[in-house]
């Protein structure tokens, strides 16, 4: 069976948590596509040219230490704005998405660019303040600075010329601002199950 679930949304909205949960529930492979860009950003920080870093990326690179830090997220957002980097990573993601057994991909442009043919498209969002608070709980530091960085990243991701962050026209929006994570997972699971059962 080939079945793709595309889950998009801004940083700290809960898409990773939902993606991992639904992948486990249905036995699908899971790819956090943000890790691809974080891994490329880490290589660039080490002196590698961005496109070369993207072309040389291997699955083991996604397990590198430090890819979940705020700095890695900012580096990812910067390299993700480079068309050559995005182009180099598209085929990697598309092959993953259409593998036998089903796949869940979460990122910024899965439903709009990478997998517009995905069987289920979700857009997970929350207010910037809620997302910044969640990120602050993860990384600590100055709460005001974290909020400023979330807003800066949103602006960069949503207004970049190539594959801006936005919901696909046929995506179901799940706003987690005031929604417990269990409820968000249950809603996503029900949507996927309904689609799998439909003829």
Segment 8-18, tens digit of pLDDT: 999 899 999 99
Side-chain half-sphere exposure of 65, counting CA atoms within 13 A: 0
14 is in an annotated binding site: yes
Report d(CA 129, CA 26) in Å as an integer: 32
Residue 80 is labelled as binding a ligand: no
In this model, does residue 70 exceed pLDDT 90?
Answer: no
Q: 34: annotated binding-site residue?
A: no
| 52 annotated as a binding-site residue | no
Structure confidence at residue 91 (pLDDT)? 85
9 labelled binding-site residue: yes
- pLDDT of 199 higher than 70: no
Cα(144)–Cα(166) distance, integer angstroms: 25
Residue partners of 192: CB distance under 8 A and separation at least 6: 5, 22, 26, 120
CATH of 4-197, one of 3.30.1360.20, 3.40.50.300, 3.40.50.880, 3.40.50.2000: 3.40.50.300
47 is in an annotated binding site: no
């Amino acid at each position: 069976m080939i079945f793709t679930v595309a889950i998009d949304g801004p940083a700290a909205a809960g898409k990773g948590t939902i993606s991992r949960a639904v992948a486990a529930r249905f036995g699908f492979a899971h790819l956090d596509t943000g890790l691809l860009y974080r891994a490329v950003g880490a290589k660039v920080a080490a002196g590698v040219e961005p496109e070369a870093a993207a072309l040389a990326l291997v699955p083991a690179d996604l397990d590198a230490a430090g890819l979940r830090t705020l700095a890695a997220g900012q580096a990812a957002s910067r390299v993700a704005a480079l068309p050559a980097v995005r182009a180099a990573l598209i085929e990697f993601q598309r092959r993953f998405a259409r593998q036998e057994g089903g796949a869940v991909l979460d990122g910024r442009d899965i439903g709009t660019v990478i997998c517009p043919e995905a069987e289920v498209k979700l857009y997970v969002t929350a207010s910037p303040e809620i997302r910044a608070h969640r990120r602050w709980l993860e990384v600590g530091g100055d709460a005001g600075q974290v909020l400023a960085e979330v807003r800066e990243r949103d602006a960069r991701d949503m207004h970049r010329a190539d594959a801006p962050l936005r919901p696909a026209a046929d995506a179901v929006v799940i706003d987690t601002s005031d929604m417990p994570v269990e409820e968000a997972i249950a809603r996503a699971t029900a949507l996927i199950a309904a689609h799998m059962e439909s003829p």
